[in-house]
Amino acid sequence: MQAIGRIKQKQGHFNKALKYFQSTLHIYNHSSKSNPSLIAFCLFSIGVIFREQNKYNEAHDKFEEALRFQQDSSSHNYDLLAKIHNNLSMIFEHLLDCEHAIEHAREALEIATNIIESNHDQTEMYQDNLSKLYQKK
């Protein structure tokens, strides 16, 4: 279901994508072997849809929830963790909260630089985002 949600999202059918992600989240939440990383990814995906719809407060809530699940997970998905922080940075930038935007941009860059290392494009993107935030400040 999550794959269908991603396809619908890429097609710009945000409401349909949202329904697929919410259904997937419901299944993950009620599974006897709940996986916090999968729940975090699903919440992240819902947050991205809200961000793309300019629903920044809803996106913020989903990203924060995804962050909590990912931090509670015994198997950290550091790539997802960096992406959550990067998206929180973008949300705070839209909400004109530069301090929190910079805080999350730094966190994304730190994770990408110190832990992920293999994806230089991603690290460069996080560095660019942080630089732009400093220029706005």
pLDDT given at position 82: 93
pLDDT tens for 13-42 read 888 888 988 998 998 888 877 788 889 999
Whether residue 65 is found in the same domain as residue 86: no
Number of domains the chain is built from = 2
CB proximity list for 127: less than 8 A, separation 6 or greater: 109
DSSP 11: T
CATH code for position 91: 1.20.58
Does 62 lie in the same domain as 10? yes
60: domain CATH number? 1.25.40.10
- Summarize pLDDT for 43-99 with one digit per residue, the tens: 999 999 999 999 999 999 999 999 999 887 667 788 899 999 999 999 999 999 999
Query: Considering the entire predicted model, what is its pTM?
Result: 0.88
pLDDT for 137 beyond 80: no
Neighbours of 118 (CB within 10 A): 9
Give the Cα separation of 85 and 103 in Å (integer). Answer: 9
Q: Are residues 3 and 64 in the same domain?
A: yes
Residue 114 has pLDDT above 80, yes or no: yes
Residues 30 and 83 in one domain: no
Same domain, residue pair 106 and 136: yes
pLDDT attached to residue 6: 78
Which residue is listed with tokens 């931090």?
71
Q: Which residues contact 23 (CB under 8 A, 6 or more apart)?
A: 1
**64: Cα within 13 Å, side-chain hemisphere:** 9
List the domain range (segments joined by +) for residue 100. Answer: 77-137
Based on the fold, state whether residues 30 and 81 are members of the same structural domain: no
